[in-house]
Amino acid sequence: MRTETATRPAPFRPAILRAVPALGVGAALVALALTLTNDFHLYVAFMAGVYYLCASGMNVLAGYAGQKSLGQAGLFAAGAYTVALLTTRLEVSPVLALAAAPIVAAGVGVLIALPSLRVKGPSLALVTLAFGLVVEKLVTEWTDLFGGAQGVYGIAPLEFQGEPFALRHWVVLVIVLAVATHLLLGHLLNGRFGRALLALQSDEIAAECAGISVYRYKILAFVVAAALCGLGGALVAQQNQYFNSDFVTFHLSVFILLLVLLGGAGNLYGPIAGAAILTATEVFLAQWPSVQHFIYGSMLLFALYLMPTGVAGTIARVLPRKAVAEPVVTGAPLTLSRTTDDPAGGPLLEMRDIAKAFGGVVTADKVGLRLHAHRVHALIGPNGAGKSTLINILTGVIPADSGSIRLAGEDITRASAHSRADRGIARTFQNLRLFGAMTVLDNVLVGAHARIGATGREAEAVAKAAAVLEFVGLAEHAQALAGSLPYGLQRRVELARALAGDPVLLLLDEPAAGLNPRETAELGQLIKRIGRLGVAVLMVEHDMGLVMGISDEIVVLDRGIVIAEGTPREIQTNPRVIEAYLGREEAPADDEADGKEEERAC
């Protein structure tokens, strides 16, 4: 689910200061909970807290990573039965059992993530749903271990001063856990981790080419969701001191997904809104059991129609937005931090004997390429010559059938797309692949993903991103949503995203497609400046004016074979090139050489 509102607080405020409001609200809630004496109210507060824990994990998975799982009940059960079995069978201390529950659930989460990684949309929903049902049936039928509908009695609860926790203690514990979870997730999701997840939700291939390991991040999202859901299950089991298979139902899985979708997927505050509203609704409707389900169903039916971004998203839109353009501070002029000279004794990138065939269509036949730092290379050829395929092979989007690729002397033939991006190969796409619902600045920061590193030098990264935006002339659009910009600017955002990763090699797939002549001329100047930074540039382009104007070297490809290499002047007079473009006989002269497949005379 895409969110239109980016709820990112200013990145420079110290973490402690940012935590103050949440800590304050938490303290107020604890104080309020301690004044409650009615057990029913306390129980409602406890369940709201548990729902929040489950929902906040689910939000990471469904809201940020875009993986709509329908099997969370299985993970809830994993946590609950962990404490149940550990404390009753093995007499492990309740504290240890509670700590073990999210870990076990996270392990089960990896188990469900593995088959889920290959499927999308409805198939993903089914895989997770099937997982939830298998768990449900297992705990129902395997009575020797799980007790089935009889359940497990005598689960040891936490203790306070030698006494089992009273309901009030549970509520305080849940509030503390919820605030801690909120702060931790807030820290993660407002930074590199959250950006990576939103990026992969929006476009997996673009995310991978920006240096994000889609595989690893999806598993991480599953693990976070599983651990928090397992924690929720463990708390319920310990508080009740009893757990049976009736808790584990398909409805619970649906409910957990609803908490997120209704509250606002991909919004840090969505789970809070979802947990509060759905708990309140349940309690309120319990007064009229006959119409309870009816109203509940109608709510679901119309909620997302009326509030497509959930409750939290709707509130965020109604509230006046904070000063929109928090100006991006421009630092020093852009410099790229990698050493960008050819390695001793060879080109920066050497491609040897690369071959690729799709079925019977050969799109690359023993192609060799040598690309040098500081130089702008152009790859041209008629449509269907295999130019885009070559870019895709270079970036690791498509594996080559044979041949080798060496970057700065290192063999990267088998490296994944994200690790190639990490090593400094950046690209743009023939058809724009921007993260449209994210801001321009965030798009650029995603490009810098690998450079930021796990510890998050966020401030440094933002300054660098600002320099990149300044370099491509987009500084004033930094806070705009990428998808809202005109087409020509979107092309430049993609270029900025590629530059943000400090590339040593920049691959541009038809960068001038769809640009007007003035924009094309500006683009040409920009590409020349990029070359001067020390980057090796390779562009696939049909605009011969642009190609001849800025290239240092041109490679011509026809039907998977390199037919010519050389300077623009050499290429323009090469008879084989003229033949490939215009055919052997005299064809109507077409100086534009716009790349339309020409009738071949042979």
Partner 1 sequence: MLQAIIGGLTLGSVYALIALGFNLTYTTTRTLNFAQGDFVSVGAFVGLGTVGVLTAALGADAVGYVWFYALAAVAAALAMGVLGLPLYLAAIRPFAGKPGMSWVVSTIGFGIVLQSAALSLWGLGARMLAPPFGDEVFRVGEVGFRSQELVVMALAFAILGGFDIAMRRTALGRCMRAVALNRDAAALMGIDVPRVMALAFLASSALAGLSGVLVAPILSASLFMGVIIALKGFSAAIIGGLTNPRGCMAGGLLIGLVESLTALWSAQWREIMVFLLVILVLAMAPNGMFGRKLVEKV
Nearer to partner 1, 93 or 123 (CB): 123
**Cα gap 380→536, rounded to integer Å:** 17
Assess 308 for contact with partner 1 (CB under 8 A): yes
Assess 138 for contact with partner 1 (CB under 8 A): yes
**Cα gap 20→548, rounded to integer Å:** 59
Assess 302 for contact with partner 1 (CB under 8 A): yes
Which stretches does DSSP call E strand in 500-546? 505-509, 536-540
**Cα gap 399→24, rounded to integer Å:** 53
Assess 569 for contact with partner 1 (CB under 8 A): no
What is the side-by-side strand order in the sheet with 505-509? 425-427, 505-509, 536-540, 376-380, 553-558, 561-566
Measured from the CB of residue 126, what is the shortest distance to partner 1 in angstroms? 5
**Cα gap 429→508, rounded to integer Å:** 7
Assess 513 for contact with partner 1 (CB under 8 A): no
Assess 36 for contact with partner 1 (CB under 8 A): no
Nearer to partner 1, 23 or 138 (CB): 138
Assess 68 for contact with partner 1 (CB under 8 A): yes
- The residue within the footprint of partner 1, chosen from 35, 287, 290, 337 (CB under 8 A), is 290
Token pair of 504 as six digits:
């040593």
Q: Which residue has the tokens 């038809």?
A: 510
What are the b/e assignments for 388-403, b being 16+ CB within 10 Å? bbbbbbbbbbbebeeb
Assess 30 for contact with partner 1 (CB under 8 A): no
Assess 282 for contact with partner 1 (CB under 8 A): no
Assess 250 for contact with partner 1 (CB under 8 A): yes
Assess 268 for contact with partner 1 (CB under 8 A): no
φ, ψ at 66 (rounded to 5°): 75, 20
Assess 301 for contact with partner 1 (CB under 8 A): yes
Measured from the CB of residue 251, what is the shortest distance to partner 1 in angstroms? 9
Measured from the CB of residue 23, what is the shortest distance to partner 1 in angstroms? 33
Nearer to partner 1, 242 or 296 (CB): 296
- The residue within the footprint of partner 1, chosen from 2, 374, 457, 528 (CB under 8 A), is 2
Assess 317 for contact with partner 1 (CB under 8 A): no
Q: Which residue has the tokens 């064809």?
A: 587
Assess 419 for contact with partner 1 (CB under 8 A): no
Report the amino acid identity of residue 579: E
Beta-carbon contacts of 162 under 8 Å, excluding residues fewer than 6 positions away, are none
Nearer to partner 1, 160 or 302 (CB): 302
- The residue within the footprint of partner 1, chosen from 1, 55, 227, 493 (CB under 8 A), is 1
Q: Which residue has the tokens 């020409």?
A: 598
Best CA proximity match to 228, nearest among 469, 50, 400, 81: 50
Nearer to partner 1, 99 or 138 (CB): 138
Assess 284 for contact with partner 1 (CB under 8 A): no
Q: Is the CB of residue 136 less than 8 Å from the CB of residue 73?
A: yes
Q: Which one of 238-246, 297-305, 530-538, 557-565 is the stretch in contact with partner 1 (CB under 8 A)?
A: 297-305
Contacts to partner 1 from residues 425-444, by CB under 8 A = 429-431
**Cα gap 178→235, rounded to integer Å:** 12
Assess 324 for contact with partner 1 (CB under 8 A): no
Assess 398 for contact with partner 1 (CB under 8 A): yes
What are the b/e assignments for 113-123, b being 16+ CB within 10 Å? beebeeeeeee
- The residue within the footprint of partner 1, chosen from 44, 176, 304, 561 (CB under 8 A), is 304
Best CA proximity match to 230, nearest among 44, 93, 49, 50: 50
- The residue within the footprint of partner 1, chosen from 80, 231, 256, 262 (CB under 8 A), is 262
Measured from the CB of residue 538, what is the shortest distance to partner 1 in angstroms? 16
Nearer to partner 1, 501 or 531 (CB): 501
**Cα gap 154→243, rounded to integer Å:** 9
Nearer to partner 1, 125 or 277 (CB): 125
- The residue within the footprint of partner 1, chosen from 31, 34, 110, 134 (CB under 8 A), is 134
Task: Give the angle 424-441-219 at the CA atoms, nearest 5°.
Answer: 65
Assess 43 for contact with partner 1 (CB under 8 A): no
Nearer to partner 1, 208 or 342 (CB): 208
DSSP SS3 for 408: coil
Measured from the CB of residue 275, what is the shortest distance to partner 1 in angstroms? 16
Q: Is the CB of residue 376 less than 8 Å from the CB of residue 334?
A: no
Assess 131 for contact with partner 1 (CB under 8 A): yes
**Cα gap 460→180, rounded to integer Å:** 27
Assess 297 for contact with partner 1 (CB under 8 A): yes
Measured from the CB of residue 35, what is the shortest distance to partner 1 in angstroms? 36
Residue 326 burial class via C-beta count within 10 angstroms: exposed 0-12, middle 13-18, buried 19 and up: middle
Assess 137 for contact with partner 1 (CB under 8 A): yes
Nearer to partner 1, 294 or 487 (CB): 294
Torsion of CA 515, 519, 524, 525, to 10 degrees: -160
Site string for partner 1, 101-130 (x = CB under 8 A): -------------xx--xxxxxx-xxx-xx
Q: Which one of 8-16, 134-142, 181-189, 476-484 is the stretch in contact with partner 1 (CB under 8 A)?
A: 134-142
DSSP SS3 for 416: coil
Assess 285 for contact with partner 1 (CB under 8 A): no
Measured from the CB of residue 521, what is the shortest distance to partner 1 in angstroms? 27
Residue 589 burial class via C-beta count within 10 angstroms: exposed 0-12, middle 13-18, buried 19 and up: exposed
Assess 242 for contact with partner 1 (CB under 8 A): no
Which stretches does DSSP call E strand in 238-298? 242-243
Best CA proximity match to 57, nearest among 78, 39, 37: 78
Nearer to partner 1, 67 or 238 (CB): 67
Helix, strand, coil abundance in the chain, percent, nearest 5: 55, 10, 30
| Contact footprint for partner 1 (CB under 8 A) | 1-2, 68, 114-115, 118-123, 125-127, 129-131, 133-134, 137-138, 141, 205, 250, 254, 257-258, 261-262, 265, 290-294, 296-305, 308, 388, 392, 397-398, 429-431
